[in-house]
Amino acid sequence: MALLVSLIDTDIQPWVEVFESELSNMDIRIYPDVGDVSEIEYVAAWQHPFGEYKKYPNLKAILSLGAGVDHIIKDPALPKDVPIVRMADDSLIRDMCLYASHWVLHFHSDYYRYTKLQAKKLWLPQDFVAPKNRSIGIMGFGNIGKSIGDLLTTQGFKVVGWGASEKHTTGGIEYFYGKDQMSAFLNKAEILINVLPLTDATRSLVMERELRQLPKGAFVINMGRGSIINESDLLSVLNSSHISAAVLDVFDVEPLPVDDPLWSHPNVTITPHIAGQSDGNTAAMFMVENIRRIENGEPPFPLYDVTRGY
């Protein structure tokens, strides 16, 4: 029995140390040193090469490093009957909360303006807006979206949420759901945060029409998936000044091509898909616990649901 570890752009050592310590009855292999493919029962994966999964005939589960599983399900040769376990480690959720709160404050407190004023050597304090008078809209209200919303409400912000289906929310967060309620949600989102997963239903969900339903002067923080907010439409609405500025962590094509106009837009800040980075120790333990569940005949959690697309 073997666990294959295939994690790119990641310091793999903390993961391997946990796996070796906690799974002493299992052979830990690091890709591309696969060895006997028939012995591979689990793959801990981030950007594992397409076409590889089908080579492991006794694969019991694929364990994703990230909450998103695009890097797995886009494999055209992916075996259809192998469970895919998403990452829901608390450290990843905490990191996404910190990312969101950082950029909310960047826009809410006019830090983005002060950066430009400093370049011009201008001392111009901006008008103060209390958090209670700033409405933050969060698209995607699962564990990550709700955690971000709860954090922002503790800081006094007014938070509204939107998701595909009806949910019960607490803490004074107003919640909208379905396409019929999207306009009402967008109208209230002075700072829009996208943490939706990419599915057939969410692909190109936010086009120019939706972006123009945001209040004039709104801000956009995209930390979900790049293909949800149409990039060319976002540029168009930025250029019209209806949206003041945007922070983008995810893109249609990653890495973002060097000739993409988003790089040079004066009101766009780019980060290289780093919102929600996993702590190797705790995230590896999350995978270990799911392997133990499977070995004990229990279902892993959270399991990718092909019908919902996440």
Which residues have CB under 8 Å from 100's CB, separation 6+? 148, 151, 152, 193, 195, 221, 223, 275
What's the confidence (pLDDT) of residue 48?
96
Kindly name the residue from 71, 225, 242, 308 that is annotated as catalytic: 225
What's the confidence (pLDDT) of residue 277?
83
The helix or strand, by DSSP H or E, that contains position 153, with its residue range, turns out to be helix 143-154
Kindly name the residue from 94, 273, 293, 308 that is annotated as catalytic: 273
Dihedral sign (CA 76, 78, 81, 87): negative
CA distances from 99 to 94, 227, 251, 273, 275 (A): 9, 20, 17, 11, 6
The angle formed by the CA atoms of residues 253, 255 and 256, to the nearest 5 degrees, is 65
Within this chain, domains 2-89+278-295 and 90-270 share the same CATH topology:
yes
Residue 64's φ and ψ, nearest 5 degrees, are: -80, 135
Domain map (residue ranges) of the chain:
2-89+278-295, 90-270
Q: Evaluate whether the domain defined by 90-270 bears CATH number 1.10.443.10.
A: no
User: Which residues is 56 bridged to in the sheet?
Assistant: none
Query: What one-letter code names the amino acid at 141?
Result: F
Q: pLDDT tens per residue, the chain (310 residues)?
A: 999 999 887 889 999 999 999 999 999 999 999 999 999 999 999 999 999 999 999 999 999 988 889 899 999 999 999 999 999 888 889 999 999 999 999 999 999 999 999 999 999 999 999 999 999 999 999 889 999 999 999 999 999 999 998 987 777 899 999 999 999 999 999 999 999 999 889 999 999 999 999 999 999 999 999 999 999 999 999 999 999 999 999 999 999 999 999 999 999 999 999 998 878 899 999 999 999 999 999 999 999 998 887 7
Q: Evaluate whether the domain defined by 2-89+278-295 bears CATH number 3.90.1150.10.
A: no
Q: Is 225 assigned a catalytic role?
A: yes
